[in-house]
Structure 1
Amino acid sequence: MPVPAWLWAVTLAALLTLILLDLIIVNRRPHKVTIAESARWIAFYIACAVAFGAGVWIFGGDDQAASYITGYITEYTLSVDNLFIFMIIMANFAVPAIHQHRVLLIGIMMALVMRGIFIGVGAQAVQRFSWVFWIFGGILIYTAWKFAFSNKDDEEYDPNGGVVRLVRRLFKVTDDYHGSRLTVRQDGRRLLTPMFIVIVAIGGADLVFAVDSIPAIFGITQDAYLVFAANAFALMGLRQLYFLLGGLVEKLVYLTYGLAVILGFIGVKLVLHALHENELPFINGGEHVTWVPEINNWTSLAIIVTVLTVTTVASLIKARRDTRQVAEPSVPEPAEPSVSEPADGARN
């Protein structure tokens, strides 16, 4: 749908207001975020996302509303899997609990800026070059294969790799944290603190995650405004979800397989759309392939919600069964009755 400049401005201003509200209320006094506090903030952000969806439905129609809702659910679900990486980063850097919310907030703000740039470039690309859908579809199908067949336990995120290692090489870093400060002055020199490195690691992880999430949502809608809004609302609720779920994330053992199905499904949907929009000369003579089916947004929404429901319920059932098996004491098997050997005289 055509979006006027003033609506973009109002949306960005509203998101900035939410961030400032979070900074003023939550970060005015660093503290360890409780489960109850996280639940309230998640309910608030979900209510904001739902209210935005209602506005899309009123002013944009059913199909646009379905695109936004499907995109929001997909992005939020992908964010849940990202929490594994955030937990590893926090643990490796031993980030104090009272500062973890601030780290995530700054990281999410960086992610919003980076994804905004990605979305702007992606929106222009899909409008001008139909072959981009082939690339996006290929990325998602490959990512789905990795999710389905890779062993997550064998994959470790190296916080000292990539950009983080480059920062450590270029700048001096203190050994200890200095509250929430990013830099300190020691012996007349300005030094970085581990807090700065953690934020770089979180921002780098968000950038890597965008490689999966941006093609995924463009497989649902090519409307840049809806793509950005769905990403923004999903990211805004990610911080509180980190504190609410905690160890529960590890119990969602089948979530990775559910994400593999979702990404594979969207990848196939993108390939079908690429066939419809085909302009490549070596496929059907450069003509559109109109006989292949296209999947509408309502079907996509139903499939994604069904997959998430099944994988979540199955994960919780397995977690409960495993807990019950650990709690039940093992009952030793009854010993076989011993049969004494008869004496030599008795044998005769």
Structure 2
Amino acid sequence: MSAQSRLQAIVWNRPKLTILNQLLLPHSSEYIEIPDSAAGHHAIVTMQTRGAPAIAIVAALALAAEVSAQTFGSDDEARQFIHAKLDYLSTSRPTAVNLFDAITKLKKLTNTCSNVAAAYVDAAEQMLADDISDNKAIGANGAAFIERRRPETVPRIKVLTHCNTGALATAGHGTALGIIRSLYQKDGSVLEHGARLTAYELKEEGIPSTLVCDSAVSALLRSDPSIRAIVVGADRIGTYQLAITAKFHGVDFIVAAPVTSIDLGLKSGRDIVIEERNMDEITQTAGFVSESIGGELVRQTLQVAPVGTNAWNPSFDVTPAELITAVVTEKGVFEKRGAEFDLVSDIAKA
């Protein structure tokens, strides 16, 4: 089993929840308290916390902190309060599958249990522990899969990752970056796209890496045959184009995700609703400046594109199954049967 990550983006000490404010990274590692569901909702919407697993955990624990501070006259009163807050939290990120999975489970639990408030807090805490355990299993499963497919002519594997899928995006350890962390223990190297979060996390973890622009990946794969895999999470814009170039260059394209990130109710990825975010995220850029050495960091926004420029800003894309080598979960590694995956059957059997 791979080593525990040093970073803690989510810190829960009952009844207090604090999170690492990812809007300030990599320049400042500042923790903020999330005392209630309103603060949790704000943290998710503004992307102070991000990553599908982390979003679900922060939502659940934000409400746990709020419930811990309340006094309820009856289980029915607690149940109504919790369900209303869960409905509110569901509006924070409409495409986060993990969030809705967590909400469904928490509602089901509180519908049938007694001592509802205490049971809810216990369940939210257990989700935090389970996420870390699941991520460690994903890391071990994925690293073993990549090692098995390593050609004898390649003594030292290099892998490429995309966006952030580590301890910052989960309760801890990470999914795709968790695989990389596990692989690094076996002498692997990391090439990564993620100038702010992934670069910060790998530096904090002491894992050597090289930052690569999206547009340079094809040239990189052509020039370096020791790169044997691209490992990504289940949701981020840009994975589709990486999968295309991986297929062309004969490199494995691996998706790492907990089972809770997989919407087994959809017939096809074509049914996934893609969230479109504000155009300003493309036409503007944000950074931090300090008026004096050691002074307080000030966030500033600069206009990059001409004012009034139209922009398309989808948060995610859908990678066709025929371009994916394997899906790695805590339950195992699933490969295609022909051109398609049968995740419903495979997960049920695992």
Fold agreement, TM-score > 0.5? no
Which gives a bigger RCO, structure 1 or 2 (Cα 8 Å, sep 6+)?
1
Q: Which has the larger radius of gyration?
A: 1
Taking structure 2 as the reference length, what is the TM-score of the superposition? 0.28
Choose between structure 1 and 2: higher helix proportion.
Answer: 1
* Structure-1-length-normalised TM-score: 0.28
